[in-house]
Structure formats: structure tokens, C-alpha cells
Amino acid sequence: MVEYRMPSLGADMEAGFLREWRVKPGDHINRGDIIAEVETQKGIIEIEVFDEGIIGELLLKIDDKVPVGTLMTHILTESEAKTGMKVGEKEEEKVPPKEAEIEEKEAKVAGEAATPPPAIPTPPPIPVHRIRASPLAKRIAAERGIDISLIKGSGPEGAITRKDVEEAVTTQPRPLSEQASYDAAQQPTPEKSTTDTMRMAIAAAVSRSNREIPHYYLQTKVDMSLALAWLTDTNKQRSVKDRLLPVVLYVKATARALEEVPDMNAWWDNGLQRKKDIHIGFVVSLRTGGIIAPAIHDANKKSTDELMKDLSDLIPRARAMRLRSSELVDSTITVTSLGDNTVETMFGVIYPPQVALVGFGGIKEEPWAENGMVGAKPVLTISLSADHRATDGSTGSRFLTELKKYLNQPELL
């Protein structure tokens, strides 16, 4: 039997609110399955499990506050499940941990005041009597102006789940009069909640970083002629859907350079802890303000095509604030690309406990001297922010030099 506790979702997060169980007791689950959805400052996060087995009793109710470390359920073996092992009240007595209990009590006493505003503004309620639907599904339906009574549920006993509502959003016809209010719902929210809570999360993370991490900064420039020519050539043979963006080369080159300079692929936690796997946190900026940096897992092992596919999946989910728990916490380094038509250089703030952040500016045509000749070249500026507790300038310099090497030989990526 494995205790399943609310995982930490990053340096800046202490608790969330349970919004949906995606499993019920007795369900068989595999590694990587999603068992619940928890609302945090970073949106609604899908909580994954990392064990295989049978789900025991669900120990939390919908809308419960879930501090990190709270026991959520047990994962039982086949035989434990067969013997009908009661997942005990004894365990329940032990948890949630003391601090959590206190927090819970305080939250109850203080009522509304202690409850962070929901990440998504609460819309006017739509009557949903006698319809089995998760609170999350009801809320999304109300926000999107979807008539929940017309949706066929696919959950337990025909209950309507978030997925059903989201599918209905794309299929349910809307009368023209409703179009306006639907469109209005897509506008930047007049309520401040999403932006505010996100801002607070970022504020907490960068303040901690600035307080704790002695940053040093390095910068280098790359003539991108070869890389861009390689991209143009590759893209010519592809349909629009399969075309690659320069950012894929940045991610892959970073991953390859980390293989050569593993000290940059690490966490600082009472000392340097090198990480075996290379998970690149990719900064996605949200149009309503704020950023989020989900992990591209095992970036060094993926082809440029696979990385493009990953980005096509991650970016829209990050913007919709629908990420998985592992994507929020696994990153071993951060990559940020400002894109074209922007500034050339950025010196970023490291996301603890990582020890480095690589910034790619916009590609600009610049005079470039080579072999005694000056010409105009598309130039990319790459900057590195690194933790001086973990590495020194020489390591950082070696890393940037490797990164440059790969961008000059895109066929190696």
C-alpha cells in the first residue's frame, strides 16, 4: 500500500483546492495516470500518480483545501484490494499533517477571507438541479454559457465531467444572442483574480530567487545563417502543420549542451544535485499577463519533430492553465525565448531550485566580422543566468560555447 499525498507543485505553492476526482475507489491506475484536478495559482493542475495499483478510499472532498503533503488516497496492491483491506481511519488520524490542520482551521475561522480568490472568475450561476456533474464541470459550463442539461455525461453513473463540457463547448450550437456573451467571456477578465494570483505566485518565486541565489550572467552571440538555412530547407519539404520553429533548435541545442556540461542541469538543495534526466522548463507568456514554464520532459532524447509536437501540446495547455503536476515541478533548467521583433538580450531570474536559465533574444541582422571581413548576418544573442553557488563562470562559459556549437551545426540536433 502506498500513501498518495498532495505533491509539491513548485517553490511558490503551498496549497490548492481539490476540484475533481478523476478516479473512484477500486479503479486500476498506472504510472502517469491522472487521479485528480487541483486548482492552484497556476490554474487547474492535473495530479498524476507514479505508482501502479488500485485506488483506495478517497480521503478528500471536492473543494477541500489541500496543503502540500496531505494524504489524498492510498494505492493498493491487487491482493490488498481483494482482501477488502479497509483503508484505515488510523491513517486518517495521522493526516493531514499538523500544520495543515491548523491551516484548515484558520481557513474555516476566517471563512472567505482566508480563501484565495478562485483562479477563474465565478460566473452567474446557471440552474443545474438534478443533473449529475462535477462542480468543475458545472462551473466551466456556466462560464462558457453552455447548457449543461444538454450534455451527455461520460463519468461514473453518467455524471458530467470537465471533459464532457469542454467537448460541448466546441460542438453545442449557440444561438446568436448568446454569441455576444460568450465572446465577452473570452475577453480579459474584468475581475482581477487570475492575473492577481498568478502575479503573486511569480512575485513569491522571483523574490525567493533574488534573495537566495547569487546570480552571475554571461552572454554570447551566434551567427544564425546556417541554422536558419537548415530550417528553411527542412520546412520546404513539410506541410505547414509539420514546420519547425527556431525555438525547437534552441531547446534541442540547450539539451545537447547540458549533456556536455551536466553541472548546469541540476538543483541546488543544500549542495549541487545533478539531475540525470534533462527536463527543460519552457517559458510561455500568458496574454493576460504572467508566465508559466512547463517542463518538456527528456528533451535531449527527443527529435526536433517530437519537440515541436511537445510544444504544440504544451503551449496551448499552459495558456489555458491546464498542466500536469509533473510539468510544473520536474524542470531541471529554464529556457526562455523572447521571439522575433523583440529585444536582443535578456538576463533572467533563475527559478529555484534550478541553477540556470538560458535566454534567447530576437534574431537581428547585425554587422558580423569573420576572417577579416565584415558582413551583415542574422545574429542571435544567448544569455545565461546561473547560480554562483552551484557553478563558476568557466562552467557557464563552457556551456554557452557548447550551445553555440550545436546551433552552428543544426544537422547534429
Residues that bind other proteins (CB under 8 A): 183, 186-188, 232, 235-236, 240-241, 243, 245-247, 285, 287-288, 311-312, 315, 339-341
β-bridge partners, 48: 34
Length of the chain equals 413
Nearest-approach distance from CB 369 to other proteins, in angstroms? 28
Amino acid letter, 217: Y
Cβ distance 404 to 244 under 8 Å?
Answer: no
Nearer Cβ to other proteins (213/231)? 231
Angle between helix 162-171 and helix 135-144 axes, rounded to 10 deg: 20
Nearest-approach distance from CB 240 to other proteins, in angstroms? 5
Nearer Cβ to other proteins (7/361)? 361
The distance of Cα 134 from the centroid of its chain, to the nearest Å, equals 24
The span from the CA of 55 to the CA of 4, in Å, is 10
Nearer Cβ to other proteins (235/300)? 235
Nearest-approach distance from CB 399 to other proteins, in angstroms? 25
Nearest-approach distance from CB 141 to other proteins, in angstroms? 17
Strands 28-29 and 53-55, sheet pairing: antiparallel
Angle between helix 393-408 and helix 225-236 axes, rounded to 10 deg: 40
Nearest-approach distance from CB 246 to other proteins, in angstroms? 7
Nearer Cβ to other proteins (240/376)? 240
Residue recorded with cell 527528456: 298
Nearer Cβ to other proteins (154/179)? 179
Nearest-approach distance from CB 183 to other proteins, in angstroms? 8
**Radius of gyration over alpha carbons of the chain, in Å?**
24
Nearer Cβ to other proteins (54/231)? 231
In DSSP notation, 187-255 reads SPPSSSHHHHHHHHHHHHHHHHHHHH--EEEEEEEEE-HHHHHHHHHHHHTS-GGG---HHHHHHHHHH
The span from the CA of 390 to the CA of 266, in Å, is 9
Nearest-approach distance from CB 341 to other proteins, in angstroms? 7
The span from the CA of 83 to the CA of 180, in Å, is 56
Nearer Cβ to other proteins (69/339)? 339
